[in-house]
A and B are shown apart, each in its own frame.
Chain A
C-alpha cells in the first residue's frame, strides 16, 4: 500500500490582527507526529485547518496531492479525517454506543449492519466495549477522552488529528491512551498536539515545535533532545544565568542554557530540548 502524505505550504491563519500561523510549511508522513509549543503558538489553529474546521487566509494543505478544502472533494476528504478537538463536547444524556452510532451516521455510514460493526470495532479499539450501555454523564474524564477518540476513529480515517487529547488524564489513563493511539495510529498519519513532552517521547516518530505561529523545530524526538546536548549542567544551587534552573530535590540543581566553564554536564531530556527550541530568538545558547 502506498503511504500517505500531508503537506502544508506557506499556511497563514489570522484572527483579525492576531496572526496565529505565519507561513507555516510542513510535511507529515505515516506515523505519529507530535506538535509541541507553548499556549498561543498556533497549534490548535493548525489542527483546526487540518481538520477542515477553519479555512486559512492563504497557503495550501495537500493530502496525497489533493488540496484540502476544495469544494468538490471536501466531503470525501472529511471521510478520511478523524478529528479529536480540544473540547470534543459529548452528549451527556446519550449512552456510549448511541453517541458513537450518531457520529457514525454523521460519517455517512448508512448501512445499519456496517454502522453497528464499526461502533463495536472502535469501542473495542479504545477498550470501552464493556461500557456501551452506560450514559456518558457517568464516565470518568479519561473514559470520555477515549470515547472521543473512538468517535474520531469511526470510519477508519487515514488522517488522525488529535488536539491535546491527554489533558486532565491521570498517569494510568495517559498510558492507556498512548496504547490506544499507538495501536490505532498504524498506517495512518497521526498528528498529536500536546503540552506533554513525555507523550511525544513515548509515541511520536517526529516532533514539530511551533512558537508564535512559526515552526521552530522539525525532527525526531531524539534530535529535539539532542538540541540540549552540552546545554544541561548540574550545580549546587540554581544558576541565575541559566534559561531555566531548578532544585531537583537531590541536593543538586539542574540548569539549562549556556553552561559555565567546567560545569558538570548532565544528560539532556526532551523537555530540555523543547525549552531550548522555544527560547526567545537571540537568546544565547
Chain B
C-alpha cells in the first residue's frame, strides 16, 4: 500500500479511536448526558413551553453547548497530554507514524463529538416544532455554531495538552483563556463576538424575523472554524509538521481569521437596525382575513395569528352583548428596537393603518403561556387588554405615551374579558401578579408607551371571578348590568354577590 494512503487511513482510524475516548471520558459523557437529560425532561413535560421562536432558540442553544465544550476541553487536554504524563512520548515519537499525524488525529477526533452535540441541538430545535405556537426559523449558521463552539473548545484542550504537555499548565492556560472569554462577553457590544458565543442582539430585545436579527452568524462560524484551524496548525507545527508546509498555511489562516473576526464584530448599530426593521419588515408581513378581522404577521410568525384569534374570540365571547363593539379588528404584529426608544412598526403598514379607519390592535413579537412572570407575559396580557378595550363600547383609547386608568365596572369588565379570554392570558395574568406587588396591574400596548392601568380593587374582583367555576362566572358577568361606566368597583362586587367583598379603597389610580 502507498505510504501516504496508509498513513491517511491510520490517521482516520486513530481519529475514530480518539473520538470514542473523548466520548467515553467522564467529563464529556456526563456533560452530554446532563444536556440531553435536561432537554429531554423539558420536552417530556405535560405542558412544554410553547410559542418558541426558533431563530432565537438557535442562538440560545449555543450557550448550552458551552457546557459540553468545557467537558470536551478537559477530556481532550487529558488525552493529548497523556504521552507526556505517562512518559511514553519518546517511545511514541520514534514510531513510523509522524507525530504531527497523531496530533492531527487527536484534532479530527473532536469532530464526531461536535457532531453529537450538533445532532442534540438539532433535535432540541426540532422538538420545539411539535409544540404549539412555534415561530421563526432555524438559522443554519447559528446551529452550526453549536458544533463550532464544541470544536474550538475541544481543539483548545488538545492543543494545550500537546503544546504544553502538562495537565496543570494546560489547565492554567485554558483557565486564563476561559477568563478572557468571560471578560469579553461581559464587556458586551461588538467585542462579545470574540467570545465563543454571542448573546442575542441587545438592541432588539424581543424576537425578530430572521432577516432582521443583525447577527453575522456566517462570519462567526467562519471565525470559529479558523480559530480551531490556527490552534490545530500550531500544535501540528510543534509536533513536527514541516515548517515550509505548515507556516504559510498558518499565516493564511491567521489572516483569514483576522478578516472573519473583524466582519463578525461589525454588527449594525441600533439606528441602522431600526431602519432595516422599518423597511424590510414591511415587505415581509403577511395578512390573513378571518371572518371580518384581519391578522397581519411577519412571514415567519404567521403561526402566532392562531393565538391572537383565540384571544379575540375569547374576549368577544365574554363581553356582554349590550356593550360589545361589533367593529372589525386589524391585528398587526410590531417589533421594537428597545424599551426606551420608539416602538417600531413597518413604515408602509403604519401609513396604511393611519389612512384607513380601522380598529387596530398591535400584537407583540413574543408570546408565552408559562405563568412564571417573564417579560413576554406582560406582552400577552397587554395585547388581551388592548383587544378587550377595543371590543367594549365606551372604553377610551390611550393617547400616545399615556396610561388610561380603567376604573369601576368598565375596568373590571375589560380586565375580566381579557384575562378569561384564553388560558395563555390567564397564565400571564397570574405570572404578572406573582412577580409584582401592590395588587395593581399596568399594561403597555405593543405600539408605544401608552396602555391601561387597573387598581388593586378591579384586580381583586377579577381574581374573585377567576376563583368561581368558569361557567358560573361567565353567566354572572353576562347577566350583570354594567352599562354605566360610573359604576364603582365596590358596587360591582356587591352586585355580583361575591363572597369576599372588596374592602380596599379604590386606591390612587381611580378617583
| Residues of A that sit less than 8 Å from B by CB | 48, 51-53, 75-76, 78-79, 81, 83, 85, 87-92, 102-103, 105-112, 148, 151
Contacts and interface: CB of A to CB of B under 8 A. Distances in A.
Interface in B382-441: none
A85 B10 contact: no
B12 to A, nearest CB: 9
A89 B96 contact: no
A112 B9 CA distance: 10
Nearest to B242: A71
B86 A53 contact: no
Contact of A83 (B17, B87, B91): B91
B6 interface: yes
A110 B102 contact: no
Contact of B89 (A81, A89, A91, A111): A89
24 contacts: A48-B90, A51-B94, A52-B94, A53-B90, A75-B3, A75-B96, A75-B98, A81-B94, A83-B91, A88-B88, A89-B83, A89-B89, A90-B86, A91-B86, A91-B88, A102-B17, A103-B95, A105-B13, A106-B92, A106-B102, A107-B96, A110-B1, A111-B1, A148-B91
A78 B94 contact: yes
B93 interface: yes
A105 B14 contact: yes
A8 to B, nearest CB: 17
Nearest to B9: A110
Contacts of A87: 87
Contacts of A110: 1, 6-7, 9-10, 13
Nearest to A99: B88
A151 B10 contact: no
B9 A78 contact: no
Contacts of B96: 75-76, 78-79, 106-108
Nearest to B7: A108
Interface in B81-126: 82-83, 86-98, 102
Nearest to A136: B86
Contacts of A51: 94
A183 to B, nearest CB: 22
A109 B17 CA distance: 14
Contacts of A90: 86, 88
Q: Which 9 A-B pairs have the closest CB atoms?
A: A89-B88, A89-B87, A106-B95, A110-B9, A89-B86, A79-B96, A78-B96, A110-B6, A106-B97
A253 B1 CA distance: 64
B94 A53 contact: yes
A69 to B, nearest CB: 11
Contacts of A111: 1
A89 B90 CA distance: 9
A48 B86 CA distance: 18
Contacts of B6: 108, 110
A91 B94 CA distance: 17
A92 B86 contact: yes
Interface residues of B, number: 25
A190 B6 CA distance: 28
B385 to A, nearest CB: 63
A83 B93 CA distance: 11
A148 B90 CA distance: 13
A112 B96 CA distance: 17
A195 to B, nearest CB: 20
A112 B479 CA distance: 84
A105 B11 CA distance: 8
B90 A85 contact: yes
A106 B7 CA distance: 9
Contacts of B91: 83, 85, 88-89, 148, 151
Instruction: Count chain A CB atoms within 10 A of each CB in B87, B88, B93 and give the residue with the most.
Output: B88
A74 to B, nearest CB: 9
Contacts of B95: 78, 103, 106-107
A103 B10 CA distance: 11
A105 B97 contact: yes
Nearest to A77: B96
B30 to A, nearest CB: 17
A35 to B, nearest CB: 18
B252 to A, nearest CB: 25
B165 to A, nearest CB: 12
Contacts of B90: 48, 53, 85, 89
A87 B9 CA distance: 29
A145 to B, nearest CB: 13
Nearest to B105: A105
A81 B96 CA distance: 9
Contact of B82 (A53, A88, A91): A91
A119 B401 CA distance: 80
A112 B16 CA distance: 13
Contacts of B92: 106
A53 to B, nearest CB: 5
B94 A83 contact: yes
Contacts of A76: 96
Contacts of A78: 94-96
A137 to B, nearest CB: 11
A89 B82 CA distance: 10
Nearest to B92: A106
A112 B6 CA distance: 12
Interface in B66-86: 82-83, 86
A105 B92 CA distance: 11
A112 B14 CA distance: 12
A62 B92 CA distance: 22
A106 B102 CA distance: 8
Contacts of B10: 105, 108-110
Interface in B16-39: 17
Given A85-B90, A105-B10, 4 more contacts: A53-B93, A88-B87, A89-B87, A106-B95
Contacts of B86: 89-92
A76 B96 CA distance: 7
B268 to A, nearest CB: 50
Contacts of B1: 110-111
Nearest to A154: B95
B109 to A, nearest CB: 13
Contacts of B9: 110
Contacts of B82: 91
A149 to B, nearest CB: 12
Given A91-B86, A91-B88, A92-B86, A108 B97 contact: yes
Interface in B310-353: none
Instruction: Count chain B CB atoms within 10 A of each CB in A108, A111, A112 and give the residue with the most.
Output: A108
B107 to A, nearest CB: 16
A144 B128 CA distance: 54
A284 to B, nearest CB: 42
Nearest to B99: A106
